[in-house]
């Protein structure tokens, strides 16, 4: 199944567009014929979207074995056949950028193009026509800024957080009239920059964005036997992620939060008859995270109504913000990381904020929250973006050498810990109040 957000981007055939206005100036059909490539529907849609002068930013969420890296490199090289063009292929890390570098070399060799520079260390290829194609990685984005690009391709975009790399470092380099960017990947959950960019293409608020989603059904080279083998050897989450291009689940996800049913506008929620409590995870370089939860005993529902998260702030700065939330919601109890005893002391002595040591059994706490989430008993206010991200992106550490399961330490961990402290400690101690 393929979904294309813009009705003027077709997926059944390569559109015949005006050579003066389309992005790829050279006839792509002949180029593909020489490679003996017949593009599938997702590849066709990507080409038609990039050629359409209306769309500067194309986000393609495509399943495994769609030839996404290959078609990206083909588009990159076709762009560089025009003299003086500059293309940047971004990957999450060095190893993946090497794949694109080797592929570009093979394409250049296939068409016997004249190369004036081939720098394996810097991963830059310069053609005799003055065009360049450069490989870069998200974790070293500073090394590829400083020039204008005609096209930037983010390959496997969802594997890393490229929001700042694009918005801060690279978008200013797309300063030519028809410069473009492609973001292409299998999804990794829905609360990340790749998902955000994908959903832009489905709104009229971002008319320069076009989005494409394609499952394994769009690849005619995938056999029924291949799919059956994948279903047997993968978890359901992994299969949905890799073969169905599903944004809602991904392999290693700790909690399967139902965003459609459990995200709501809670600004009118009356919490006066509810127990209201908070969870606090303390950090410095890592953010300090605080969530506010109300429990309705009659409905047996939890409502996450507010949040605070910030890094590299003083205890006083955190205390001021948390005090505002205490007063706003009339918070009854705050459960704090029991390792943060100095913060607990300072809060009590200097800012009149009383806290309770949280129960910290990680796996038991995760399991407890999972039971609440799985039953759709946690409703999150639509403005609490950090909590939504944590519920979506909190994941198990894939390190095979671990003696037991543990969650991965990332930007989702901090609010996830605060959420766990709050829910696990409240429900296991509430009857003692």
Round to whole Å and give the CA distance between 33 and 323: 67
Cβ density class 44-80: b for 16+ within 10 Å, e for less: bbbbbbbbbeebbbbbbbbbbbbbbbebbbbbbbbbb
Distance CA 104, CA 119 (A): 12
How far the first Cα of the chain sits from its last, in Å, is: 54
156 is catalytic: yes
Extract the runs of DSSP E, i.e. beta strands, from 256-396: 263-264, 275-281, 288-296, 301-310, 333-336, 356-357, 378-381
Question: Any idea what DSSP says for residue 142?
Answer: G
Cβ atoms of 262 and 382 closer than 8 Å? no
Short-list 67, 89, 77, 78, CA closest to 27: 78
Q: Using DSSP, state whether 411 is helix, strand or coil.
A: coil
Query: Which tokens belong to 93?
Result: 């890390």
Distance CA 28, CA 6 (A): 21
Determine the Cα angle at 260 with ends 256 and 265, to 5°.
Answer: 115
Count the Cβ atoms, other than its own, within 10 Å of residue 342: 10
* 3-state SS, residue 395: strand
Catalytic residue among 156, 218, 242, 307: 156
Angle CA 239–386–249, to nearest 5? 10
Residues with a catalytic annotation lie at 156
């Amino acid at each position: 199944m393929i979904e294309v957000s813009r009705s003027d981007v077709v997926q059944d055939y390569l559109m015949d567009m005006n050579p003066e206005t389309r992005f790829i100036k050279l006839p792509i059909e002949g180029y593909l014929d020489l490679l003996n490539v017949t593009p599938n529907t997702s590849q066709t849609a990507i080409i038609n979207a990039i050629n359409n002068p209306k769309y500067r930013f194309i986000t393609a969420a495509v399943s495994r074995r769609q030839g996404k890296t290959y078609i990206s490199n083909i588009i990159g090289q076709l762009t560089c056949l025009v003299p003086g063009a500059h293309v940047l292929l971004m990957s999450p890390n060095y190893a993946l950028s090497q794949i694109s570098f080797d592929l570009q070399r093979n394409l250049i060799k296939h068409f016997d193009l004249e190369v004036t520079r081939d720098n394996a260390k810097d991963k830059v290829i310069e053609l005799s026509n003055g065009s360049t194609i450069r490989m870069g990685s998200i974790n070293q984005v500073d090394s590829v800024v400083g020039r204008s690009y005609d096209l930037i391709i983010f390959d496997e975009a969802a594997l890393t957080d490229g929001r700042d790399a694009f918005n801060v470092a690279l978008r200013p380099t797309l300063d030519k009239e028809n410069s473009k960017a492609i973001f292409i990947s299998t999804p990794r959950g829905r609360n990340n920059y790749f998902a955000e960019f994908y959903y832009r293409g489905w709104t009229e608020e971002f008319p320069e964005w076009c989005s494409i989603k394609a499952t394994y059904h769009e690849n005619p080279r995938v056999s029924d036997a291949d799919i059956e083998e994948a279903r047997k050897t993968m978890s359901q989450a992994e299969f949905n992620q890799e073969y169905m291009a599903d944004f809602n689940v991904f392999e290693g996800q700790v909690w399967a939060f139902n965003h459609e049913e459990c995200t709501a506008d809670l600004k009118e929620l009356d919490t006066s008859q509810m127990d209201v409590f908070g969870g606090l995870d303390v950090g410095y370089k890592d953010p300090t995270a605080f969530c506010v939860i109300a429990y309705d005993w009659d409905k047996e529902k939890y409502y996450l109504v507010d949040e605070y998260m910030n890094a590299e702030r003083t205890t006083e700065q955190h205390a001021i913000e948390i005090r505002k939330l205490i007063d706003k919601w009339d918070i009854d109890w705050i459960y704090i990381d029991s390792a943060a005893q100095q913060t607990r002391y300072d809060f009590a002595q200097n800012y009149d904020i009383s806290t309770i040591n949280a129960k910290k059994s990680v796996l038991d706490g995760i399991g407890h929250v999972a039971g609440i989430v799985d039953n759709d008993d946690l409703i999150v206010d639509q403005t609490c973006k950090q909590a939504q991200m944590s519920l979506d992106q909190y994941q198990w550490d894939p390190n095979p050498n671990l003696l037991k399961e543990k969650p991965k330490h990332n930007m989702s961990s901090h609010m996830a810990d605060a959420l766990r402290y709050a829910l696990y400690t409240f429900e296991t101690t509430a009857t003692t109040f």
